Structure 1
Amino acid sequence: MKKVLQKISGYKWLLAILLIFIGGAFYFGYGKEDASSAETAQPEISTVRKKDIFILVSGSGQVYSRSQVDIKPQVAGDGIDVLSVSVKNDQRIKKGNLIAVLDYSDAQKSVRNAEIDLENAELKYEDVKDDYEDDRATSIDKKMQKLAIEQKDNSLADAKEKLSDYYIRAPFDGIVTGVSVEAGSSVSRSDVLASVITEEMYAKVSLNEVDAVSVEVGDRAVLVFDAIEGLEMKGEVSKIDTIGTVEQGVVYYEAEISFDKGDEKIKPGMSVSAEITTDSKSDVLSVPASAIKTGSAGKYIQVVDNEKTDEGSFGNEATKSIYYVEKIVEIGISDGSSVEILSGVSEGESVVVKAPSVSSKSANPSLTQTQGLLNSVRIPGAGGGIGR
């Protein structure tokens, strides 16, 4: 009997040790898991600060020359030979510079004939004048012959002007492109010998109908080019379509953007992307867009109330409670990630961007100031914390 009691007593000790072991494992395992959950369940806090806010819309398109003229022969006839070509593609030229010379032999003959006709008319006038002095011609004869001189002089001027058409010159300062002839080529009046474009370029970009309504003439833009890595140009919206274009059921509007300055690397036809600033504010109070909440009284922000922060204890761990107040705010412009604050909060205040677990004592956003508990954070090994 004594041995039986000793065995039962031994089992009690084993059972007690086992229960202590299980309890300790449960306590420490639960505590660590709970502490880990508390650490990961932190609210996301940001600060009210000043910054520049820009509202941008984007579009893509191509580069164009401000002006382009196709150079064609101005002389009548087909099969006119090209005597010489004085330019090449991408060459910069000035107004009046020679581009090409056509076979002018017939036109030059016409000029010589007109010169001879004028000389004959002048000689005849001298004869009529002598006859008039000898009373062998009347004053009318003299006037008629003088008129004949003027007519021959006009004919000579016309012949010289036609001759000049065989010398093809640049109509304005620009760049030569599309040279299609060379010495010995045969051309007609409808053929394009070359084109001259102005050095002034502009971009034409397409905007969707939502973005287009916010773009105005005078808006500033930044442009980048697919073919020119690292080049960034600034410009200004100079024109925007008043009537949209429908393509495959989608409406878009084209905006023209003038460059502030030129760059010889930019060529017509290049692909371009543009960011247009439709509105901007400098050095204004702002918060992340996700910090703005909406209630029955309007927009509000949860502001961390430092005066209501406290700490307690949980076993050998400290717990920290963070409180907030809800403040009604007036907002301005937004770029999608930040929002301008016109009134309601001050620079430097901490605001709640995201609260994963909020237990509010009075979460009615219609109140201008509501106190709530964001969460309780357990800090392992802190033992009780520091009081305020």
Structure 2
Amino acid sequence: MKAKWIIILAVAIPIVAASSTLSVLKFGKKPAEYRTAIIERGDITSIVMASGTLHPLLTVQVGSEVSGTIKALYADEDSEVTQGQLIAKIDPAPFINRVNEAKANLKMAGAKVTSASAEVVGAEVQVKDTKRTYDRFEALVKDGVVTQEDRDVTLTKYETALAELDAAKARYELALGELEQVKAALETTELDLSYTDIFSPVNGTVLTWVVDVGQTVSARMQTPILFTIAQDLREMEAYLDVNEADIGRLTVGQPATFYVNAYPGQTFGAEVAGIRSSPKVTQNVVTYEVVIGVDNNALKLKPGMTANATVIVAEAKDVIKIPNAALRFRPPVPEKDSREKPGATPKRNNKNEGNVVYVLVKNGKIKSIPVEIGVSDNSFTELVKGDLKVGELVAVGLSSKGKSFDMPSRRLL
């Protein structure tokens, strides 16, 4: 009896094994399995990230209009200054001497004008006197009392007096011109003297100064810069370099935040204040300068700090969120020819399907759902229109365990 059962099992086991192998050969493949993600509801913020440098809203370079020796300095780096405050002084002694010299020249020029004016008056008197003599001789020559020669002598004196009057008037005009010239020279020297006092043109903070007491500055070729003053560091700007792919998404007025390495974990508020049209090209990378206005009331931020900024381009509140991976995913196309090479990469659907996601349905299968999308960030995209519900699973890729493959054939024994 025992030998009979042994014979039956020996025959049955190969038959079952062969049946299983034939079943696998008949179907050839296991169904694909998918990695999935869940449809959620929440907020989406679309951003553009860029970095740049902080600058004062207005920087003024204060120089010297005259050459001379620095006699005193009344401001230092980081000094708070007000408009009109005296911040430096150039030795005024040489300029005082020039002013005194110009005043003396003015007195001399005034005396010349007075003298020339008196000469004009004297010439006018002479003209009147010679004119009377000439008129008298003109009447007497007709009566034969004086000769024609005597009459001609009086005419010559009269004409000479007229010429002298014209010359006196010319000398007077020349003296007036010299007087005006001397007055202008005096004003120039007085102005130069006033330039020896250097005042702050704005309210602000001294960023740099480049001179010391006793140093000589020369203004002959160009104005020497003595101080750099930042006007009111409570308002600053950051100049960001934004990639050309993102520049079209930015507009003036968009909110922004940024951080600096000096204050880890702290963010500062800002707003897009300007978008420059001039491109910058660095190693074939095109960027555009975007200016963001910065509120620095706490005076924590310093000029020159690197600002790592995030500009908020668009926001969507309390919307259905589709994982971006679901929008990129496309399932493999079934192979039409079973004779294709083993191990070949499954073909994917290359047709332009628009925006489509694949929802997981019964038996591990998927169904395509067309969608219209809106605001997007790095992880999720807003669902504007489409038959998707919160909590549904969507395919985002093929599972490494569930990828379809050809079963290896087994040799029947």
Q: What is the TM-score with the length of structure 1 in the denominator?
A: 0.63
What is the aligned partner in structure 2 of residue 166 from structure 1? Answer: 196
* Alignment match, 2:268: 232
Write out aligned runs for 1:166-185 (5 A). 166-185=196-215
Higher RCO, 1 or 2 (CA under 8 Å, sep at least 6)?
2
Q: Which amino acid aligns with 1:266?
A: L
CA 1:155/1:357 → structure 2, altered by over 3 Å: closer, same or farther?
closer
The match for 1:116 is 104
Q: Which residue of 1 aligns with 2:71?
A: 83
Alignment of 1:264-275 (within 5 A): 264-275=299-310
CA separation in 2, counterparts of 1:172 and 1:216? 31
One-letter identity of the residue aligned with 2:80:
R
Q: Tell me, yes or no, if structure 1 residue 336 matches structure 2 residue 324.
A: no
State the alpha-carbon separation in 2 of the partners of residues 326 and 70 from structure 1.
Answer: 66
Q: Which residue of 1 aligns with 2:334?
A: none
Deviation per CA, 1:263-313: give whole Å up to 9, x if none. Answer: 4322211121011234444554433334445576443445688xx9xxxxx
TM-score (norm 2): 0.59
In structure 2, relative to structure 1, the CA distance for the partners of 1:214 and 1:83 (3 Å cut) is same
| Residues 324 and 378 in structure 2, CA contact (< 8 A), matched pair in contact too | yes
Offset at 1:329?
1.5
User: 1:220-369 counterparts in 2 under 5 A?
Assistant: 220-229=255-264, 230-236=266-272, 238-240=274-276, 242-247=278-283, 251=285, 253-263=287-297, 264-282=299-317, 284-292=319-327, 294=330, 297-301=353-357, 326-345=368-387, 349-353=390-394
The Cα of 1:236 is off from its aligned counterpart by 0.7
The match for 1:196 is: 229
Matched position secondary structure for 1:81:
strand
How far apart, in 2, do the equivalents of 1:232 and 1:215 lie? 19
* Separation (CA, whole Å) in 1 of partners of 2:211 and 2:254: 43
Name the CA distance, whole Å, in 2 between partners of 1:246 and 1:355: 37
CA distance in 2, matches of 1:130, 1:356: 111
Instruction: Pick closer, same or farther for the CA change 1:158–1:43 going to 2, 3 Å.
Output: closer
* Equivalent pair of 2:242/2:290 in contact (CA under 8 Å): no
Paired residue secondary structure (1:195): strand
Quote the offset at 1:234 in angstroms: 0.8
Distance 2:321 2:250 in 1: 24
Show CA shifts across 1:15-60 (max 9, x none).
xxxxxxxxxxxxxxxxxxxxxxxxxx9975434x3x4432212122
SS at match of 2:300: coil
Give secondary structure in 2 for the equivalent of 1:75: coil
In structure 2, runs of 5+ residues without a counterpart are 1-33, 126-164, 331-348, 400-413
TM-fit CA distance, 1:123: 4.0
Distance 1:43 1:289, change over 3 A: closer
Matching residue of 1:381: none
* 1:237-284 per-position Cα deviation (integer Å, ceiling 9, x unaligned): 52346434324xx62525232314344322211121011234444554
Percent of aligned pairs with the same amino acid: 23
| Residues in 1 aligned to 2:243 and 2:396: alpha-carbon distance in whole angstroms | 36
Q: CA deviation at 1:177?
A: 1.9
Say if 2:259 and 2:268, in contact at 8 Å, map to a contact too. yes
Match of 1:53 among 44, 57, 60: 44
Equivalent AA in structure 2 for residue 338 of structure 1: F
Q: In 2, distance between residues paired with 1:75 and 1:356?
A: 76
Larger helix fraction of residues: 2
How far apart, CA to CA, are the structure 2 residues paired with 1:345 and 1:195?
63
Cα offset, 1:83, TM superposition: 1.0
Name 2:18's counterpart in structure 1. none
Q: Which residue of 2 aligns with 1:156?
A: 186
Unaligned runs of 5+ in 1: 1-40, 309-320, 359-388
Whole-angstrom CA distance in 2 between matches of 1:64 and 1:231: 17
**What corresponds to 2:153 in structure 1?**
none
- Work out whether residues 276 and 288 of structure 2, in 8 Å CA contact, stay in contact via their aligned partners in 1: yes
Q: 1:120 to 1:228 in 2, by over 3 A?
A: farther
- Take 2:114 and 2:289, find their aligned partners in 1: how far apart are those partners? 69
CA displacement at 1:162 relative to structure 2: 1.9
Q: CA deviation at 1:207?
A: 3.9
> How far off is 1:131 after superposition?
5.3
Separation in 1, partners of 2:116, 2:354: 104
* Alpha carbons 2:37, 2:323 under 8 Å: kept: no
Counterpart pick for 2:89 among 77, 91, 101: 101
Aligned amino acid, residue 281 of structure 2: T
Find the aligned partners of 2:398 and 2:196 in 1 and give their Cα distance: 86
Look up the equivalent residue of 1:146 and give its one-letter code.
Answer: L
1:368 aligns with none
In structure 2, give the amino acid aligned to 1:330: E
Q: Distance in 2 between matches of 1:192 and 1:97?
A: 17
- The one-letter code sitting in structure 1 at the alignment partner of 2:181 is Q
Higher radius of gyration, 1 or 2: 2
1:79-108 CA-partner distances (Å, limit 9, x unpaired): x42111111212233444322111121111
Indicate conservation of the 8 Å contact 2:360/2:367, yes or no. yes
Q: In structure 1, what is the Cα distance between the partners aligned to 2:115 and 2:278?
A: 72
